[in-house]
């Protein structure tokens, strides 16, 4: 029973020719152009988001090593 369902699902996803159907991929230029300023702001937000936690850990190393010297 489970094997039949799995086979049916695989066949519906792959199709009869053995290739996956990729209907959500659109090839071509972007529909909406993103301005250079917006790209810069988004790049800054991503950079700050990725580096926030490692920077926080580095600032708080004394607390991890047995107590802050306050």
**13-41 confidence digits (pLDDT tens):** 555 565 555 566 677 887 889 999 999 99
In a domain, 54, yes or no: yes
Token reading at 67? 């107590």
Question: Is 42 within a domain?
Answer: yes
Domain that holds residue 39: 35-70
* 16 located within any domain: no
Instruction: Check pLDDT > 90 for residue 4.
Output: no
Tallying the residues shown for the chain, one arrives at: 70
Total domains in the chain come to 1
> Tens digits of per-residue pLDDT, 36-56?
999 999 999 999 999 999 999
Report which DSSP code applies to 35.
Answer: P
Report yes or no on 50 lying in a domain. Answer: yes
**Domain annotation covers residue 62:** yes
Secondary structure E strands in 1-70: none
Structure token digits, residue 1:
């029973």
Note whether residue 49 is domain-resident. yes
* 47 belongs to a structural domain: yes
- If you average pLDDT over every residue of the chain, what do you get? 79
């Amino acid at each position: 029973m489970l094997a039949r369902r799995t086979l049916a699902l695989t066949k519906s996803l792959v199709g009869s020719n053995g290739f996956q159907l990729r209907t959500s991929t659109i090839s071509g230029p972007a529909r909406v152009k993103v301005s250079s300023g917006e790209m810069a702001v988004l790049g800054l937000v991503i950079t700050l988001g990725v580096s926030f936690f490692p920077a926080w850990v580095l600032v708080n190393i004394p607390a991890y090593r047995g107590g802050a010297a306050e």
